Structure 1
């Protein structure tokens, strides 16, 4: 635990950027001006690949620390924490060197597994919180083994931790995102390893939440202010974002909008409610789990449309919420498991010559809001209550219209997290036992907007099913 007069250095390993920032140790609030960012450009291929250059990524992250050092922000640091994208994988040789780029969550390559009728995927899902989907190592490792003979496998956060400390280890949180963890025990699942075709010694060792390492001598010389500072194991970005937004108990659903979007609830792993097939479940730390639903089209959808439509404003302010005649089904990047809609399946219905670029943007953001609402209502049923909602993430911070749209779609009040860096904030909170509050505005749904969205949902649902069917024909 840090002293309250010390700061926390947070490393946030995102898909579109790597960031290093300094936070207050008592409430995980960012220190003004103490942020460095390295832009990341994933490489996408026609074969479904979506990769990151590991060397470029890590060197860019180290450069962020150099920038903080040069500006005097690495003095008085009492802890180093990490938040990272889930689901990445790198194949390693017998010397620990990378044989592949970082394969990200967006990569669609893998192999199908013919496990036969004896395999019980319902039991597997209940135990691991995941499915046999390309997102997870259970299908990615056999695919990587089919073309090469890697000696070991690790994720991006595991390799960053190894680079900094010399120890290749992972957290129960990051391991849960691989699809190979037994959620109840916090150890690798024997059946998942058997399906993947590896033994546990070929994967990073899982360390407890209280584990800490220290920087290697090389980096202690590079950043003298960090000598002896404990480095905490990484937290998966979804879990970190929930906690950082203020959604860290079973009565609150956190909706976060970044490149993608998700709605999640943090709750104790002990006596957790039975997991519905439609939801995933990962771990936050040794005692808590996070259950939710994720969506592939969110901030990426917003950024793409504002560029394609050449909008002067990234807000459809002239369009009333729920009033767009056009309906967008936001399957541009496909759907997350267990649904199997592939990328390239986005659809607009009801277009007319009267529609403006702002109408098309509004329809897309409304469609994304309705998708998130599907997940929220599923969580309401699971926890047997209407959950409170807190909104957070860069997409939320950037768009007032979208905040109002989500509030009307959920038909309940929402609280907006005032801090956009929710992943870094949450990683600090998990490592140091903090309970950050949202601290932002409270939104009340506007009755007319709620009514229009309710009417729109009646048209949206059958068109969504039509889009699902069309995706099977088109792809």
Structure 2
């Protein structure tokens, strides 16, 4: 195995990223191709699913082209943005743009179908992210799409079809559609009925780490590969990052501080609770418990784009005292998730006065995300009875020393900032190596963990604890007192004018 390589692809929301990885985790080649997201209406987020293929193809081809010996590539594995889905016609061409995980059009369907029963079956609270509600929206508003669709599936299923000719995915990719009876790892007739989807439209389920098939000759040529290369069944990007970061061990949580903020821990038992969403883990009896905020770096980026450059705001915000001189932000630009699961919630900034500047707003956004994370951690620990002893952070936000400092101080926990790298792709690479070596995914990930886990620890500053405790207590009161206001605002926005 010493001369073999694997290609790991992360087809995320913004780009398809391909990395070529050795068994010990060294990245020997990498390339990326962007993906375009369209917003035809407020709260809608869509992509042309054919971009998933063209961006993946071009990224892999570019990475492989830089290798001296492309024939050393022994396997390919995918990870991807979760909850996003496409509907294909009989010719396997998308019938409409793919609907993404952060799309929030289906609030009426969430209100109608987001019951405790659906939560118990699927592991997913009623929320904007699971595809089940957006499929129900299609069944109501575009019924011809689901009626005429031959296939309905996730990103991996679509790429598997293009790469191998097989319509298949893993339970840990498909489950975020919200259509699986999660404890049984099987499609639920009850949930399919809510979504308006037929079982024959859905992909086969292949356990993570097992082959989905062999690359079609024309697909292999497009990627610059030769010979019979297997496509190994991958998992969603959150679970993949958790695998790479060692969060399958007790007491360890992964934190992806990216466009959204996702914190996850592993569980050997099926649990469901508003404190988290439950996902399929790698093995048949493994689960991942995640908390989520759909707008983290999304909001920080919005602020920078509106008011200043990143360097200016980072420097100015770092000079401000904890608490941004009394400015508190609820970062619900894309609804509220853990633990409230309210699709009507929106961002709120409380405490403005005349001395506040854009830098105060920026710091209050970073602190608002950190307050949300503290709430998530406390609710997760209370629901599971297990403490999170170590947080391992990746993502664009983790490259901001100011933001990591704020996260550590607000949560009063040490944060391990892992080396810059593609954590989700590293998890996909571990699954590919697991298949090639016959080891467990956890063993393969541990063997390759060195380059990714290199980094530094940030410890909380005790001098900020009292102020952040007091501000956190105020922050926790904001959403409950605004819940009815959000609902009334949604009603008011729907009143016609002109």
Q: Secondary structure at the match of 2:191?
A: helix
Residue 57 of structure 1, CA deviation: 3.5
Q: Secondary structure at the match of 1:231?
A: strand
- 1:159 maps to 158
- 1:347 maps to 348
Please state if 1:296 is matched with 2:294. Answer: yes
- 1:44 maps to 39
| Residues 351 and 182 (structure 1), Cα distance of their counterparts in 2 relative to 1, 3 Å cut | same
TM-score (norm 1): 0.91
- 1:56 maps to 51
| Residues 142 and 357 (structure 1), Cα distance of their counterparts in 2 relative to 1, 3 Å cut | closer
Return the alpha-carbon distance in structure 2 between the equivalents of residues 107 and 327 of structure 1.
26
Please state if 1:100 is matched with 2:96. Answer: yes
Q: Secondary structure at the match of 1:130?
A: coil
Return the alpha-carbon distance in structure 1 between the equivalents of residues 301 and 114 of structure 2.
40
Residue 104 of structure 1, CA deviation: 0.2
Please state if 1:88 is matched with 2:84. Answer: yes
- 1:326 maps to 327
Residue 407 of structure 1, CA deviation: 0.9
- 2:484 maps to 469
Return the alpha-carbon distance in structure 2 between the equivalents of residues 183 and 174 of structure 1.
12
- 1:17 maps to 15
Please state if 1:215 is matched with 2:228. Answer: no
Once the two structures are superposed, residues 214-235 of structure 1 have per-residue CA deviations (whole angstroms, 9 ceiling, x without a partner) of: 2111023334544222211121
Residues 217-296 of structure 1 correspond to what in structure 2 (within 5 A)? 217-223=217-223, 225-268=225-268, 271-272=269-270, 274-287=271-284, 288-296=286-294
Return the alpha-carbon distance in structure 1 between the equivalents of residues 359 and 294 of structure 2.
22
> RMSD of the alignment, in Å?
2.4
Q: Secondary structure at the match of 1:281?
A: strand
Please state if 1:138 is matched with 2:132. Answer: yes
Return the alpha-carbon distance in structure 1 between the equivalents of residues 222 and 201 of structure 2.
31
- 1:376 maps to 377
| Residues 87 and 448 (structure 1), Cα distance of their counterparts in 2 relative to 1, 3 Å cut | same
Is 1:413–1:443's contact at 8 Å kept on the other side of the alignment? Answer: yes
- 2:3 maps to 5
Gaps of at least 5 residues in structure 1 are none
Residues 424-439 of structure 1 correspond to what in structure 2 (within 5 A)? 424-431=425-432, 432=434, 433=441, 434-436=444-446, 437=449, 438-439=453-454
Return the alpha-carbon distance in structure 2 between the equivalents of residues 203 and 423 of structure 1.
25
Please state if 1:110 is matched with 2:109. Answer: no
Once the two structures are superposed, residues 18-42 of structure 1 have per-residue CA deviations (whole angstroms, 9 ceiling, x without a partner) of: 111112223x3433xx211112221
Moved more, 127-136 or 189-198: 127-136
- 2:495 maps to none
| Residues 447 and 333 (structure 1), Cα distance of their counterparts in 2 relative to 1, 3 Å cut | same
Q: Secondary structure at the match of 1:95?
A: coil
Return the alpha-carbon distance in structure 1 between the equivalents of residues 279 and 303 of structure 2.
32
- 1:317 maps to 318
Is 2:57–2:223's contact at 8 Å kept on the other side of the alignment? Answer: no
| Residues 466 and 29 (structure 1), Cα distance of their counterparts in 2 relative to 1, 3 Å cut | farther
Residues 182-201 of structure 1 correspond to what in structure 2 (within 5 A)? 182-201=181-200
Moved more, 259-268 or 377-386: 377-386
Residue 337 of structure 1, CA deviation: 6.7
Residue 453 of structure 1, CA deviation: 1.1
Is 1:334–1:341's contact at 8 Å kept on the other side of the alignment? Answer: yes
- 2:494 maps to none
Return the alpha-carbon distance in structure 1 between the equivalents of residues 97 and 4 of structure 2.
36
Is 1:41–1:52's contact at 8 Å kept on the other side of the alignment? Answer: yes
TM-score (norm 2): 0.87
Moved more, 367-376 or 318-327: 318-327
Is 1:132–1:138's contact at 8 Å kept on the other side of the alignment? Answer: no
Gaps of at least 5 residues in structure 2 are 435-440, 491-498
Residue 203 of structure 1, CA deviation: 0.5
Richer in helix (by share): 2
- 1:388 maps to 389
Return the alpha-carbon distance in structure 2 between the equivalents of residues 364 and 402 of structure 1.
10
Q: Secondary structure at the match of 1:473?
A: helix
Moved more, 460-469 or 322-331: 460-469
Q: Secondary structure at the match of 2:349?
A: strand
Q: Secondary structure at the match of 1:462?
A: helix
Residue 54 of structure 1, CA deviation: 1.8
Is 1:245–1:390's contact at 8 Å kept on the other side of the alignment? Answer: no
Once the two structures are superposed, residues 147-197 of structure 1 have per-residue CA deviations (whole angstroms, 9 ceiling, x without a partner) of: 212333122221111111111101010111111112222111221122223
Return the alpha-carbon distance in structure 2 between the equivalents of residues 7 and 407 of structure 1.
37
User: Which of 454, 470, 476 is residue 455 of structure 1 equivalent to?
Assistant: 470
| Residues 244 and 319 (structure 1), Cα distance of their counterparts in 2 relative to 1, 3 Å cut | farther
Give the paired residue count.
465
